[in-house]
Amino acid sequence: MPEVLGPTPPRPLTVEEAATRRRATPTFDSSRGLDSDLLEKILRLATLAPSSTNLQPWRFLVVRDPANRRRLQSCARNQPKVGQASVVVIVLGYHHPDRTHLEPMLALQVESGACTPERAAEIRGRAASGFRDLTDRALWATRSTMLAAATMMLAAESLGVASAPMEGFDEEAVKREFGVPEDHSVCCLVALGYAAVEKPFPGRFDLDEVCYAEHFGRPWTG
């Protein structure tokens, strides 16, 4: 399915086009900066991802300053793309939005008319019991946060911006250097900018390798 569509999309790409064209960009063109309005649009689109109870546990720590990117690079196995890319987003997952953001989120919904006060009370009650039983908050926050990270990369690609997700970093070093509190996980880094070279499609396993029908291990036949 993947094919190369040329260097810059003349119009926003469809999801299929963006998913097909996107690469984990190995080398960025450090001479090309990312426009601030375009960056803001990509970040805003990323926040449209769904999340558990709409608590939006993602936090985007946006690193643009070259000296800060070099500091981040030193926490990320010295990967050159951290220094090259115009922007690197430290994608964080916040563990306790139920304690600090449930009421603001419900207020937002009630004010906009998306939800009645009665329904808000229901959500409040369900959240109270759901979060009481939650044992692994880092895992919980990571789930929704990675939905936002994927949305960010597809949105970028759709708008002609290359990306690279990275998980090769020292989480404790990143947190120390950038003042990230203990109750946030560093889920990934996402570099954004323009690719210096075109990368070939590395391939994917066929669906019969990764899909099952009705029961684990039962072959997918379409």
Per CB under 8 A, the list member of 76, 82, 115, 162 interacting with a second copy is 115
The nearest distance, CB 137 to a second copy, in angstroms, is 11
Q: For residue 127, state whether it binds a second copy (rule: CB under 8 A).
A: no
- For residues 192 and 155, the answer to whether their CB atoms sit within 8 Å is no
Q: For residue 27, state whether it binds a second copy (rule: CB under 8 A).
A: no
Which one of 16-24, 27-35, 78-86 is the stretch in contact with a second copy (CB under 8 A)?
A: 16-24
- CA 90, distance to chain mean position in Å, is 9
Q: Is the dihedral of CA 77, 81, 85, 91 positive or negative?
A: negative
C-alpha span between 67 and 55 (Å, rounded): 33
Binding pattern for the stretch 68-87 against a second copy, x by CB under 8 A and - elsewhere: x-------------------
C-alpha span between 87 and 141 (Å, rounded): 23
Max Cα separation, the chain?
55
Residue count, binding to a second copy (CB under 8 A): 90
Phi, psi for residue 184 in degrees, rounded to 5: -125, 135
Per CB under 8 A, the list member of 4, 114, 121, 128 interacting with a second copy is 114
The nearest distance, CB 51 to a second copy, in angstroms, is 9
Q: Which two tokens stand for residue 194?
A: 């323009």
Q: For residue 121, state whether it binds a second copy (rule: CB under 8 A).
A: no
The nearest distance, CB 52 to a second copy, in angstroms, is 6
- The helix or strand, by DSSP H or E, that contains position 210, with its residue range, turns out to be helix 207-210
Residue (40 or 128) nearer to a second copy, CB? 40
Q: Is the dihedral of CA 120, 126, 131, 134 positive or negative?
A: negative
- For residues 127 and 109, the answer to whether their CB atoms sit within 8 Å is no
Amino acid (1-letter code) at residue 212: Y
Per CB under 8 A, the list member of 128, 168, 172, 208 interacting with a second copy is 168
Q: For residue 158, state whether it binds a second copy (rule: CB under 8 A).
A: yes
Binding pattern for the stretch 85-104 against a second copy, x by CB under 8 A and - elsewhere: -------x--------x--x
Q: For residue 45, state whether it binds a second copy (rule: CB under 8 A).
A: yes
Residue (45 or 173) nearer to a second copy, CB? 45
- Three-class secondary structure of residue 2 per DSSP: coil
